[in-house]
Each structure stands twice: as C-alpha cells, then as structure tokens.
Chain A
C-alpha cells in the first residue's frame, strides 16, 4: 500500500467501488423490470480499473469510455442521479434522456462521452488529447476500451498516430476475457494485448485490473509522463467480466469452475482486506458500504420519479445553433 495516500482517501475509493457495484446491480434489476429498455452493460468485477484510474487524474483531465462505461463516469465524478435517469431515458438524465445507457456524457466532470461503436472513440480520445497538446492546456485524456476493441483497425491506427504525435493520452485496455461470447483465446493472436504497443514504440504495462492500487500506480506514472510531453502509454488491465455482455444478451459463455475462480478475484473484498490491514476499521468500511447503497437507492428513486422527455425535446439538438 502506498504510504503517501491517506486512509481517508482510500476509504473514498472504497466507497466509489461500492457505489459502482450498487449502480450496476440496480441497472440489472431495473432492466429486468422493464424500466431500462434497449440494453445495459454492467461493469461488475471491473470497478478497480475505473476507480484506480480516475483517482490518478486531476479534475480537469478528460475521459472517454465505452458502452460499459457507467463505472468510469461515476469514478470521474458524474452525478449518480443524472446517470441513472439517463439509463431510464428520463428528461433529468445527463443527456436529457436521449443517450441512454450506452451514450453518457458529463462535460462538467470531464466525461467526453461513452460510445457504442467498438473502438471508434479511441481516435476521438486521441484527438481530444491533440487539442490539449496544441492549446497547451495541461490536460491528460484517458481512453477506456475492452479487449474486443483491440482487434479493430482504429485501435492500431491510433497507436501509430498517437505515438507519432506524442499526444497526452493514456490508453486503458480492460481485458475482461470476452468480446460478447468470444473468449480472447479465439480472438487474440498474442496472449498479452499490451505487446501490441511495442510495434509502435509505445510504452506499455500490464497490471492486475482487480487491484485498485496497482491500477492507480500505473496510471499515475503514465499520466505524469503524458503531461510532461512524453506521449501516450498503453496499459492492459487484466480483469474479469462477471456478468453477461449485456442485460439483453441471452445465455452464459463461461464455465462454472471459472466463475468460482473469479469470485476470488473480486476487487472489492480484496481492497477491503488491504484497508483493514492498513488501519481502517470495520465500522468505517461498513459505513462506506451503507452510504454507497443509499446514494444509489436515491438515484434509482430520482430516476423513476423523473418524467420522460417531451416530444419537442426529442427533436432538438440534431443541429447546434
């Protein structure tokens, strides 16, 4: 455990991880009840990556993420009420109900959008970083994506251009082992996705994505280098996707033994254990767990009570004024 991080800060991370877990559990439940339509993609089991990464960033830094991006938005500071209302397509949602679960955005907290076309946001994130570089804003941009995205051409194109232009970008690959139903053994030509950066002369690292502190350390280093003009880094966070690809997907794709092993890697109890060892009390931890549940219950209540957007609002924002 890094000594320089006060226990109170770490307790804050613990609460965030619990908040994300509770948010995703609620989303699955609301989908089953028909209150969320379309689809929703839970990030249960991957909370350590969202929280460890965003903890390493400044408030002015920027993130872009995927349709499995609820956790990253929460970790970057977006309001759970506005996010939950967006999942339910309500007018009080962060995108006025027009984006839904897969298209979240909160510019005021540096969330420049979650995206539902796999890998398309990777060059966009690099372009955001290019703008910060040219305008000398001192901001770092983080792009989250899954292992599936690393098979798309835009991932490779961006590795080349981002490294060529040395943009202040941190690429976070959340390798959760599956692209919908296809395991990485059937989709990746090499065991480690991080290796792909080597062909472009880009720094890279592999971390245990279920260890929030390991993620924090790796991203802190990469963000500092990016901020200092030393260009991008690709960080592969090995993790596990506990749930189905989406609430919409039918069937399971993994074997029960594998699932038993996953339980042992759960980033939340792991972090809990390490917090107890470093002096946090059982009472403090229970307090954070309860508070996370309350925050999410309030978000759910708020979303359910919110109105749908008006027809007029649905026709607005096609073009900017």
Chain B
C-alpha cells in the first residue's frame, strides 16, 4: 500500500473535502501561497483560490470569531491556529462562543468548525510554542477533540471532522508530521469515540496520546523482550472518549499506565485514570500510573526532553507496576 506522511494525509483529507463541499473554506495565517507553517496546506491555494483558502491578518481572536460567524451561517469552516499555544488568544471565541451556541440557543444554530491546532512539542521552541494543551479543551462541553498519532488516523479523523456539525479541535502533532503510514487511495472515515488497540497484550494497558505514541511503541517492544505483554491503546479522540475500550482492556490486564507530553496536573491522564477507577476498580492489581510531562514550563532549545516523558520512563513504570522493578534491565 502507498505510504503518506501525516502532513500529506491531512492535506489530502482537506483537498478531498474542499472538492466535495463548495461551502467549505479555510481561514488562518500563512495557509495560502506559503502553504502553512508546517506545509500542511501546500497546494490548496493554487487549487481553490484565495476566496476559499483565505489568508488573513494575524489576530487569532477575530479570525476565530469570523470563522464561527461563517459557520453559523451556511458554511463549514476550517481555521488554523499556527501553534496550539496561540489558542489562549482565541479562547473566549472557542469556549464561550463556538462550544455554547448550539446549547444556549436551544439547538437553533450549529457550528461546523474545525480548529486545526498543532502541538509543537520537542522541537526546541520554548515555553510559549511547545505546550500540549489538549486538556484545556477536554474540560469544555460542546467541543470535540481529535488527536491522531499517525497518518492513517489523521486522514480518517479529518474526514470525520469535516462531516461533523460541531466545533472540533483537531490537534496535530508537528513532531509526527513527517512520520509515514499506510494510507489507502480510496476514501475512508475514522469514527470519533473509537479508540484503536495499537498492540494487543495481556499484562498491562498503556494509553498513549499524540506525541507520546512513538516512545510508548518503543517501550512496548522492549517490554516484550522482558516478558511483559503490554496492550497499547490510542484513544484517537478525547471528546468523545472511548472509555469502553480502555476499561475492557484494564479488566483483562489489571494494570493501567497513561502517558502524554502534557503537564501532569489535571492532564488527560488524570481523567482517564479516574474513569477507569470508577468503572474497573475491582479489576486493578496495581495503582493507576501516569508518565507525563512535568509541571514545569518548557525550557528552550534541546532542553525540552528533560520535562517530557521518554520510553525509559514508560518501561521503568511498567516494570514496577508488574512487580519486576528489580529485573535485570538495561
């Protein structure tokens, strides 16, 4: 099968839907001839023109407001925040406007809006350009959150996002943009609220989110050499969250570890852990553990790895949970 990078896969989903939906437009900064800060919108301006691939001024708040306005009045809108960190500038529009309009107007308005929000973790850009802020959005009812970890899911989730009538925060991890996966030529949709079992296993369940996935995969491979069979799960969407798949896995393995780059406190791991605790407490053989980013701002340059998890930390925690912390291991 042909392989695409995650960046190419998202580009292809956007292109297919722009062709199919004449009322679909894309707003943002640098999405036009420049092709996007990370190259994701490359070629779209040339095909669809400036009316639909609409480069605008650098003002996240009004750009988000314009996007919401067009979305409540007959269009479907994609809007890019060049870095998820910039969501702060547009947060009122996302939280108080997009998320709530369908509810407090009694269902009269819908907001078919896809907010493309790249996480630029581990790329050395410092405290204001490197955060994993998915938990901010998961806290708010009315938003959906897609957070793919590979090219296949990214394309299928984007196709689903562009068929949804709700505001979707589509979190792309820039570190994963160049990673390749098999992507079929024919169209497909990855449904929201369906986690993927990346690797089946029986001793331990590991849930890995977005940029933590490559390290989790490496850890699972090495754990298998230690005789530990870990089941690796990618939730793919956080709202809705597929509790069921995670809970069923934990009922089988008796152990749960969650890993993400985001800050630890009130991170997505806390929510997942609590849900499992409520639904599968009697099945647990060990405390639920988290391997996450530290509650520390992201330092600059090549210092970022000091505050985000790595595969060794995932392995150490897994061994401890399985009672093998003293195993010979290097």
Complex CA gap A99/B63 in Å reads: 25
Contact B165 A99 (CB under 8 A): no
Of chain A, the residue at the smallest CB distance from B74 is A131
Contact A99 B104 (CB under 8 A): yes
Contact A161 B96 (CB under 8 A): no
- Interface locus among A12-20, A90-98, A249-257, A259-267: A90-98
B185 within 8 A of A: no
Minimum CB–CB distance for A101 against chain B, Å: 11
Which residues of A sit under 8 angstroms from B66, Cβ to Cβ? 123-124, 126-127, 130, 161
A37 within 8 A of B: no
Contact B65 A134 (CB under 8 A): no
Which residues of B sit under 8 angstroms from A98, Cβ to Cβ? 103-104, 106
Of chain B, the residue at the smallest CB distance from A132 is B73
Complex CA gap A99/B102 in Å reads: 10
Contact A99 B106 (CB under 8 A): yes
Complex CA gap A106/B105 in Å reads: 8
Which listed residue, B25, B57, B65, B166, touches A320 by the CB 8 Å rule?
B166
A107 within 8 A of B: yes
B144 within 8 A of A: yes
A258 within 8 A of B: no
Which listed residue, B65, B75, B110, touches A124 by the CB 8 Å rule?
B65
Which residues of A sit under 8 angstroms from B224, Cβ to Cβ? none
Minimum CB–CB distance for A66 against chain B, Å: 13
Which residues of B sit under 8 angstroms from A134, Cβ to Cβ? 25, 51-52, 70, 75
Minimum CB–CB distance for B99 against chain A, Å: 9
Complex CA gap A154/B66 in Å reads: 11
- Interface locus among A39-47, A190-198, A291-299, A311-319: A311-319
Complex CA gap A154/B69 in Å reads: 14
Contact B105 A113 (CB under 8 A): yes
Which listed residue, A112, A127, A135, A321, touches B109 by the CB 8 Å rule?
A112
Complex CA gap A131/B108 in Å reads: 18
Please, what's the 1-or-0 string for B48-81, where 1 marks a CB less than 8 Å from any CB in chain A?
0001100011010111111111111111000000
A214 within 8 A of B: no
Contact B75 A135 (CB under 8 A): yes
Minimum CB–CB distance for A169 against chain B, Å: 10
Complex CA gap A12/B57 in Å reads: 43
Complex CA gap A120/B69 in Å reads: 11
Complex CA gap A321/B163 in Å reads: 11
Minimum CB–CB distance for B217 against chain A, Å: 32
Which residues of B sit under 8 angstroms from A107, Cβ to Cβ? 108-109
Minimum CB–CB distance for B25 against chain A, Å: 7
Which listed residue, B71, B141, B144, touches A127 by the CB 8 Å rule?
B71
Which residues of B sit under 8 angstroms from A321, Cβ to Cβ? 165
Q: From known contacts A126-B65, A319-B102, infer whether A62 and B96 are also in contact, taking CB-CB under 8 Å.
A: no
Contact A103 B105 (CB under 8 A): yes
Count of A interface residues, CB-CB < 8 Å: 46
B302 within 8 A of A: no
Of chain B, the residue at the smallest CB distance from A86 is B106
Which residues of A sit under 8 angstroms from B65, Cβ to Cβ? 120-124, 126-127, 154, 158
Which listed residue, A127, A158, A317, touches B106 by the CB 8 Å rule?
A317
Complex CA gap A100/B51 in Å reads: 37
Q: Which of B176-228 contact A (CB under 8 A)?
A: none
Which of B69, B102, B109 has the most chain A CB atoms closer than 10 A to its own CB? Answer: B69
Contact B61 A317 (CB under 8 A): no
B309 within 8 A of A: no
Of chain B, the residue at the smallest CB distance from A157 is B62
Which residues of B sit under 8 angstroms from A103, Cβ to Cβ? 104-105
A160 within 8 A of B: yes
B235 within 8 A of A: no
Minimum CB–CB distance for A59 against chain B, Å: 16
B323 within 8 A of A: no
Complex CA gap A120/B106 in Å reads: 20
Contact A128 B106 (CB under 8 A): no
B142 within 8 A of A: yes
Complex CA gap A154/B51 in Å reads: 23
A1 within 8 A of B: no
Minimum CB–CB distance for B1 against chain A, Å: 34
Q: Which of B83-124 contact A (CB under 8 A)?
A: 92-93, 96-97, 101-111
Contact A128 B72 (CB under 8 A): yes
Q: From known contacts A123-B61, A317-B106, infer whether A131 and B75 are also in contact, taking CB-CB under 8 Å.
A: yes
Complex CA gap A109/B156 in Å reads: 38
Q: From known contacts A123-B62, A127-B70, infer whether A117 and B96 are also in contact, taking CB-CB under 8 Å.
A: yes
Write the residues of chain B forming the contact surface with A, with a CB cutoff of 8 angstroms: 23, 25, 51-52, 56-57, 59, 61-75, 92-93, 96-97, 101-111, 141-142, 144, 165-166
A-B contact pairs, 24 of them (CB 8 A): A95-B105, A98-B106, A99-B104, A106-B108, A112-B72, A112-B109, A113-B109, A115-B97, A120-B65, A120-B93, A121-B65, A123-B62, A123-B66, A124-B97, A126-B65, A127-B68, A134-B70, A135-B23, A158-B62, A160-B59, A161-B56, A161-B57, A317-B103, A319-B166
Write the residues of chain A forming the contact surface with B, with a CB cutoff of 8 angstroms: 62, 93-100, 103, 105-107, 112-113, 115, 117, 120-132, 134-135, 137, 153-154, 157-158, 160-161, 164, 316-321
